[in-house]
Amino acid sequence: MKYFPIFVDAQHIHCLVVGAGEVAARKTELLLKTPAKITIVSPWVSDTVQRLADESSQITLINRKFEDTDITHKQMIFVATDDENVNQHVHDIAHAAGILVNVVDNTPLCKFITPSIVDRSPIIIAMSSGGVAPVLLRYIRQKLESVLPANLKLLGNFSERFRDKVKQGLSSVTDRRYFWEEVLDGDIGEAVLSGNDELAEQKLDKSLIAYANGDKPAGQVYLVGAGPGDPDLLTFKALRLMQKADVVVYDRLVSPEILELVRRDAEKIYVGKAKSNHTIPQEDINELLANEALKGNRVVRLKGGDPFIFGRGGEEIETLIEHGVDFQVVPGITAATGAASYSGIPLTHRDHAQSVTFTTGHLRDNTINLNWPALVQNNQTLVFYMGLTGLPIICDKLIENGMSPDMPIALVQAATREEQKVLTGTLANITQDPETSKMKPPTLIIVGSVVELHKKLNWFNQ
């Protein structure tokens, strides 16, 4: 380990920045995130540095060339000029005086280096490659940024507030460690991240008492929208919850690629439904979620698309409320928006449609009980979920109620996934196309003149 990683108390640091260009501005912006005192010396000042100096009382701006006495009473120096002689000279006298010095973008002249930082103050993650692999370091930072909650600082502040209380309640260091792991990784941590400190504090008090008595705390259910299939479309929160779940209850529309992202040792329970083949009745699914949570488990209910768009999320929540089970809902990209975006069919367009209607094409007793006249409106896009089997009826009813037989229609199968397939036609001819009989669920139906844009805007799997 060539560089020793430390965090310096910036309250007692007076930092000198030599140079006032854009490179110096970036270092100054970083320093301004701390309480450090900053002196900038340069005969020329960029607009960015001037603005920073005008806005912050931490900065003293000296508009002249560097002088050797400028290093007096400084504990840290950044050198960011385009004059190699100046850079070398400042390095030499700073090193001789025992002052930490960094010549930007010149590693041999750096007695310290600034790491790549993920800032969730008071939580700070600093990383370094020692200057040998900056692109790799940037890649790792992007990965960390994508999985760490943007408001992780709330957890840091919450932990600080209740550290002494937990220490008083649990005398064992091991007990405290296990307790905090459960707090930060469970529903209390989620409440903090959601900004609900009052609920989090109530839960922490109950959990602390229960933990001290050896009782397992109550579980919680998370209704998570898994999106239309592409795992890259998951929200950060959905991924975080999937990776800390004890039990995952998932349906047929959750792609294998998304299931691969679930915590490895979580129990996975399949409750998928297909036409005329309901593995588990909906009422039993509702009870299953409640029972698993009452056992103390963190339960993730993974639903294709969004839990509140034809996902029966409302029904499941009603059961959870009846059993007194806490829950959260994590929205997902709907199947309709995923199918539209990945097939190049905008659901609204100034020249085509000013409204969009989502409806179900699920058959019951060989009929689709919809308000057909309301669906046949000008400048409107229709999206039918679960309508592949009832496609002939949908086309006939729309034409019967006044929609033009030439109205464009699209069938989008396996939206957003590699095997996505898009078939277009008109209300009059789509059922006659031999390819239609080859379409398989999940397939969404889009009706409207916006379908005409498919050939022009299609970008995904042309």
Between the alpha carbon of residue 275 and those of residues 272, 282, 283, 348, the distances in Å are 10, 14, 17, 30
Q: Which residue has the tokens 């409440």?
A: 191
Q: How many CB atoms lie within 10 A of CB 386?
A: 19
Is 33 a catalytic site residue? no
Measured CA to CA, the distance from residue 190 to residue 238 in angstroms comes to 12
Contact 13, 37 (CB under 8 A): yes
User: Which residue's structure tokens are 């799997």?
Assistant: 461
Q: Which of 153, 206, 273, 421 is catalytic?
A: 273
Residue 273 annotated as catalytic:
yes
Strands 326-330 and 220-225: parallel
Q: Which amino acid is at 29?
A: E
Question: Of these residues, 246, 251, 303, 306, which one is catalytic?
Answer: 251
Q: Regarding beta strands 267-270 and 247-250, do their DSSP bridges make them parallel or antiparallel, or are they unpaired?
A: parallel
Phi, psi of 154 (to 5 degrees): -65, -35
- Cα separation of 319 and 323, whole Å? 6
Residues 74, 16 contacting (CB under 8 angstroms): yes
Give the torsion sign (CA, 370, 373, 376, 380): negative
Torsion of the alpha carbons at 24, 27, 29 and 32, rounded to the nearest 10: -120
Active-site residue list: 251, 273
